[in-house]
Amino acid sequence: MRRGGRQRASGLVRRALLVGAWALSGALPATPALADALIDNVQGMTLDAEGRVVRFSGLLMTPDGHVIRLLREGEKRPDKLDWRADMKGRVLLPGFVDAHGHVMELGFRALELDLSETRSLEEAKAKIAAYVAANPERKWILGGGWNQEKWGLGRFPTAADLDAVVADRPVWLARADGHASWANSAAMKEAGVTAKSVSPPGGRIEKAGTLPSGVFVDSAQSLVARAVPQPLPKDLAAAFLKAQALLLRDGVTATADMGTTIDEWMTYRRAGDVGSLRVRIMSYGAGIEDTIRIGGTGPTPWLYSGRLKLNGVKLYADGALGSRGAWLKAPYSDAPGQSGAGFLSDDVLRNRMSRAAMDGYQIAVHAIGDKANAQVLDAIEELALTYDGDRRWRIEHAQIVDPVDLPRFGKHGIVASMQPVHQTSDRTMAEARLGPDRLAGAYAWASMLRNGATLAFGTDYPVESPDPFAGWAAAFTRSDAEGQPYGGWQPQERVTREQAWKAYTADAAYAGFAEKEFGRLAPGQFADFIIVDRDPLLASASDLRATRVEETWVGGQKVFERR
């Protein structure tokens, strides 16, 4: 039974002072005579500040869900507790922190037509037909997840492919990476797209002869997207709750949300207002205008007991490799007439970064191709002369980097925000797109660490599954779920199991200026943890991928339990 409010509040103040002192000193005090909650009888493991494994058997928490102390096996437990949970010897880990995801897109992908598991165009068409038949009330058929590379199609799909399945309603389906979308003829007609339509800067209308073929790359997607009905607040709420449930199921207790719109921010705020915001969100606004309209003069404080904060702005330097929108220094090996495209001129990129930096917003720039990465590095090197201090400039993806540029990632506190699952998914495509001579700087995680960059891992969900265990396994093997290629792809870029774990937890939190809040189970941090069915430090790569999250706790409260 809990104590009365006044006694509880005064106890919380005392313990908060103690925890703050411990965190500053780095020392652990003797076990207190009184604690508020104990998660006991666990095979607990976390990392210390240097990335070394720490094992423990009990976790003491304050009433508001902060860690007081990690208890070792055989260490005396407090005599008085508000409550105690016996985990029966199961494995406890800190919750994962996904350094790069898209919360609302994850929810909508799960609620709409999802083609991510389809392996051929015919399989996709069958799934589309079944969805259309099951949803006669939908005026537009929306969804995504298709990937012509996975289908082995050798080309983009076309409007004619879609028209053969559904011709009486508009269809608009995003590619898996979100950097291209596929329309049927009804959608293009609704949007007013014709043979006279012109590709906007930073985009490309795929053509069949002189006519739009049905695929729109990068900024050209806006030509059709502007005609798509906008989701209602109730639709946004449903998508958020679905995404949150999926993240917590996979053991993700905190995430960066890359490209938050005003409507999405208000969805998170409404969830927080009614107490249904569980996952912790580090938000990066969708461009300068939305970021300033949300944050005003700078980043927000943490809201809802550390559940939501606007950190900064998300910008784009180029597109994606799969749609040949990634900006390369030399033409694509499988398309000699194309090199991708930069979305912003050097001056515009610097101006936008400077506008955000002057108000203290953190800057995260999407850069996939080697030319785009070089452009962003050039901008950081120039702006860092004016905007000094702890900026933690973020480069998102950093997939293809010219080896001569790799040492530059170790300067100015740059964070390389990368996704191990992209390497295993993109491997054969990257070989075709780049040829053998440009693979040395591709998905170069170990090189990032050797050159002094902070490495933060995520999944880029819903481009990939938010499951962190698949990414963890990929990071230290550079092999996919089938163990291919044997010995790993470009194995010199493997990181250790512990380095990968740190990148998915402590350093992903650091990338969002949240290392004092979460990422490790240390005194003063939130008690964000998961219970899993195996020891991930002893499991083989295939067994690690099969890990099941049995419980997820955020701030000392259970928010998911597998039934």
What's the pLDDT tens digit per position in 337-386?
999 989 999 999 999 999 999 999 999 999 999 999 999 999 999 999 99
Average pLDDT over residues 98-111: 96
Radius of gyration for the alpha carbons in the chain, expressed in angstroms and rounded: 24
Confidence band (pLDDT; 50, 70, 90) for 35? low
Would you say residue 202 has pLDDT above 90?
A: no
Contacts of 551 (CB under 8 A, 6+ apart): 530, 531, 558, 560, 561, 562
- Under the banding of pLDDT at 50, 70 and 90, the label for residue 461 is very high
Share of the chain above pLDDT 70, in %: 94
| Residue pair 318/367 in contact by the 8 Å Cβ criterion | yes
* Tokens at 179, concatenated: 């950097």
Q: Average pLDDT, stretch 272-284?
A: 98
**For residue 95, what pLDDT is reported?**
98
- The three-state DSSP-derived secondary structure of 394-418 is EEEECCECCHHHHHHHHCCCCEEEE
- Is 95 within 8 Å of 559 (Cβ atoms)? no
Q: How confident is the model at residue 178 (pLDDT cuts 50, 70, 90)?
A: confident
| CA 530 – CA 275 distance, rounded (Å) | 21
Using alpha carbons, list the distances in angstroms from residue 187 to 158, 223, 229, 269, 394. 12, 10, 12, 33, 36
Q: Residue 463: what pLDDT?
A: 92
What are the E-state strand segments in 220-279? 252-260
Read off the pLDDT of each residue in 203-210 and give the average, rounded to a whole number: 90
CA distances from 127 to 131, 156, 541 (A): 6, 18, 32
pLDDT number for residue 83 = 93
pLDDT for the residue numbered 36: 87
Residue of higher predicted confidence among 398 and 200: 398
DSSP strand pairing (362-367 vs 308-316):
parallel
Query: Which tokens hold the place of 86?
Result: 């016996």
According to DSSP, the residues that pair with 531 across neighbouring strands are 92, 551
178: left (phi over 0), alpha (psi -120 to 50) or beta: left
- Is 524 within 8 Å of 19 (Cβ atoms)? yes
Distance CA 486, CA 480 (A): 9
What residues have CB less than 8 Å from 156, skipping those under 6 apart?
148, 180, 182, 206, 213, 214, 215
Four-CA torsion 205, 206, 208, 209, nearest 10 degrees = 60
pTM of the model: 0.89
* 452: Cα separation from own chain's centroid: 22
CB distance 292 to 360 below 8 Å: no
CA atoms within 13 A on the CB side of 419: 28
ω into 485 cis (within 30 of 0): yes
CA dihedral sign, ordered 392, 395, 397, 403: negative
- Gap between the Cα atoms of 542 and 128, Å rounded: 32
Phi (first) and psi of residue 131, to 5 degrees: -65, -45
**Res. 34: pLDDT tops 50:** no
Res. 470: pLDDT tops 90: yes
The Cα–Cα gap between 68 and 28 comes to 9
Cβ atoms of 250 and 237 within 8 Å: the answer is: no
Quick check: 44 and 59 in contact, CB under 8 A? yes
- Give the DSSP H/E element, type plus range, for residue 13: helix 5-25
- With bands split at pLDDT 50, 70 and 90, how would you rate the model's confidence at 177? confident
DSSP-assigned letter for residue 201: T
Average pLDDT over every residue of 110-118: 92
pLDDT of residue 11: 37
Peptide bond before residue 462 is cis, with ω within 30 degrees of 0: yes
397 pLDDT band (50/70/90 cuts)?
A: very high
317 versus 33: which is more confidently predicted? Answer: 317
Say whether 141 sits in a helix, a strand or coil.
strand
